């Protein structure tokens, strides 16, 4: 075949025309032949297995880069060879988890749903795939679709009496509720899952749930209970020798230590947790740890370090498709830039965070971003715009029952009103905000806000809002 003829045959339209000229039975035979030849070259991989906790055990195989092509050949050959249908399912499942490892979350979730819907898929595996698809979509920022799949998977697990899958579904739903700041509901789901995991003797997942419970308790201001649960989780992971889960729990412990004003302990714990997550190849966990460590440096006034860590975190979040954490990192970068005096750049980052939170339908994050943007506008002298944003943020935070966010927004709003000369309204906002902030923020954060209030009052030549 000469070069020109070879080129023409490789043209997609010519190849498609040649393909369509084949009779359906002949096409099926050719696909079956292609499947056999490829499997002869690459080998036939084992079927994807799930461990007792419902986690997939994905071990790479030479066929994996070609799994979608192999699935297409198997699907086309199934009209001729019924056994090919099971091979299609095999390769769709493998392709889904390969995409997950490659952080292509949308494609991974789509393939998981395709595998779940396959007529040869057993009910027990269908449930696990639905739950994995829901969790994957949630991480990728497609909240409504994720919640529907998680509900469906959890209900099916309950109906089939699959306790491990039910615990998995309840845990994933708890995570969604926690991120929506529906903390009591999140804790109810976690406690139900914890009861199931203990009955199953699943120590690793027991520790993971204690870690999750601690995060919700910490956000409620129940620091002592949160710390006790974290210690229990770390004890379990230590007994099991699980470096990965230890790393995640250490990062959460570091965040709790930040909130309870044990700053040096917090930094040490965060850095140890980050090192463990990196050593186990958990890129998503690494990104989240970098974000929190950046926040530690921000709270200490170390803006250059905070900026560098937050930029690293943002890059990792984008690489792994973690859009929720990407939005948080954009907001943190905006705060760092504002405190560094770069108000114009801070405004750009906060508006980008706001747009992403809106796309994610994350009302808690959106309300925080509104407050952060309002602070930037105060620095830029656009006080009327800032006041309007603070009022929206306060209303949203109150509706969400997010005490920290509402308290912070009220206190910052009070400073904006002071700059506008509306002193009585400022005192009222301050009076409402300080108790909320004291109940949910670390003492250093409360002191920082009070120092900012005294500086604003001094510039406005008015007495302290607490006088």
Structural domains of the chain, count: 2
- In our burial notation (b when 16+ CB lie closer than 10 A, e otherwise), range 393-415 reads bbebbbebebbbbbbbbbbbbbb
pLDDT value at position 388? 94
Distance CA 8, CA 302 (A): 62
- Phi and psi for 380 in degrees, rounded to 5? -85, 0
pLDDT digits (tens, 9 = 90+) for 394-431: 999 898 888 888 999 999 999 999 998 899 998 999 99
Residues of the chain with pLDDT under 70: 1-25
Residue at 237 is within a domain: no
Query: Are residues 96 and 112 in contact, defined by beta-carbon separation less than 8 angstroms?
Result: yes
Which H helix or E strand runs over 398? helix 383-400
* Region of residue 229 (left: phi > 0; alpha: psi -120 to 50; beta: else): alpha
Residue at 111 is within a domain: yes
Q: Contacts for 352-356 with beta carbons within 8 Å, 24 or more apart?
A: 353/327, 353/328, 356/141, 356/323, 356/326, 356/327, 356/330
Q: How many CB atoms are located within 10 Å of the residue 10 CB?
A: 9
Which of 116, 132, 148 is the last residue in one of the domains?
132
pLDDT value at position 54? 77
Distance CA 63, CA 76 (A): 18
pLDDT value at position 16? 55
Residue at 50 is within a domain: yes
pLDDT value at position 12? 55
Which of 132, 149, 168 is the last residue in one of the domains?
132
Residue at 97 is within a domain: yes
Query: Are residues 428 and 466 in contact, defined by beta-carbon separation less than 8 angstroms?
Result: no
pLDDT value at position 285? 94
Residue at 364 is within a domain: yes
pLDDT digits (tens, 9 = 90+) for 46-57: 887 887 777 777
Residue at 247 is within a domain: no
- Full-prediction pTM beyond 0.85? no
Token pair 């670390």: residue? 442
pLDDT digits (tens, 9 = 90+) for 321-369: 898 899 999 999 999 999 988 999 999 999 999 999 998 888 888 999 9
CATH code where residue 363 lies: 1.25.40.10
Residue at 56 is within a domain: yes
Residue at 462 is within a domain: yes
pLDDT value at position 276? 96
Residue 49, classed as helix, strand or coil, is strand
Distance CA 51, CA 57 (A): 7
Which of 72, 102, 132 is the last residue in one of the domains?
132
**Residue 366 structural domain:** 349-467
- The four Cα atoms 307, 310, 314, 320 give a dihedral, to 10 degrees, of 150
Q: Which two tokens stand for residue 128?
A: 């696990």
């Amino acid at each position: 075949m000469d070069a020109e003829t070879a080129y023409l045959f490789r043209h997609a339209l010519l190849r498609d025309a040649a393909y369509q000229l084949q009779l359906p039975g002949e096409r099926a035979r050719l696909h079956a032949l292609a499947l056999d030849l490829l499997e002869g070259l690459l080998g036939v991989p084992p079927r994807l297995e799930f461990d007792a906790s419902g986690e997939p055990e994905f071990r790479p195989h030479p066929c994996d880069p070609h799994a979608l092509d192999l699935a297409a050949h198997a699907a086309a050959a199934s009209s001729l060879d019924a056994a090919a249908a099971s091979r299609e399912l095999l390769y769709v499942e493998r392709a889904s988890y390969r995409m997950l490892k490659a952080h292509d979350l949308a494609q991974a979730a789509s393939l998981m749903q395709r595998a779940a819907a396959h007529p040869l898929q057993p009910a027990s595996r269908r449930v696990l795939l639905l739950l994995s698809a829901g969790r994957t979509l949630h991480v990728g920022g497609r909240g409504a679709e994720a919640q529907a799949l998680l509900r469906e998977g959890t209900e099916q697990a309950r109906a089939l009496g699959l306790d491990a899958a039910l615990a998995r579904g309840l845990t994933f739903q708890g995570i969604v509720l926690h991120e929506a700041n529906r903390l009591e509901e999140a804790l109810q789901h976690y406690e139900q899952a914890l009861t199931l995991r203990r009955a199953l003797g699943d120590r690793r997942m027991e520790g993971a749930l204690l870690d999750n419970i601690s995060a919700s308790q910490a956000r409620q201001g129940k620091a002592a209970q949160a710390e006790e649960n974290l210690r229990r989780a770390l004890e379990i992971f230590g007994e099991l020798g699980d470096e990965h889960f230890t790393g995640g729990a250490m990062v959460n412990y570091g965040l709790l230590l930040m909130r309870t004003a044990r700053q040096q302990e917090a930094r040490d714990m965060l850095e140890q947790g980050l090192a463990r997550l990196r050593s186990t190849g958990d890129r998503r966990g690494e990104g989240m740890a970098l974000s929190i460590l950046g926040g530690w440096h921000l709270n200490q006034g170390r803006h250059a370090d905070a900026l560098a860590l937050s930029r690293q975190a943002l890059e990792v979040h984008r690489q792994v498709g973690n859009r929720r954490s990407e939005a948080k990192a954009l907001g943190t970068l905006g705060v760092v830039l504002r405190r560094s005096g770069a108000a114009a750049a801070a405004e750009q980052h906060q508006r980008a965070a706001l747009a992403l939170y809106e796309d994610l339908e994350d009302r808690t994050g959106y309300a925080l971003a509104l407050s952060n943007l309002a602070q930037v506008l105060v620095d830029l002298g656009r006080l009327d715009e800032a006041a309007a944003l603070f009022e929206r943020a306060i209303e949203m935070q109150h509706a969400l029952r997010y005490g920290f966010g509402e308290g912070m927004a009220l206190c910052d709003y009070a400073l904006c009103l002071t700059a506008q000369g509306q002193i009585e309204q400022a005192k009222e906002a301050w009076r409402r905000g300080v108790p909320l902030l004291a109940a949910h923020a670390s003492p250093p954060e409360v002191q920082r806000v009070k120092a900012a209030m005294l500086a604003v009052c001094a510039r406005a030549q008015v007495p302290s809002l607490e006088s």
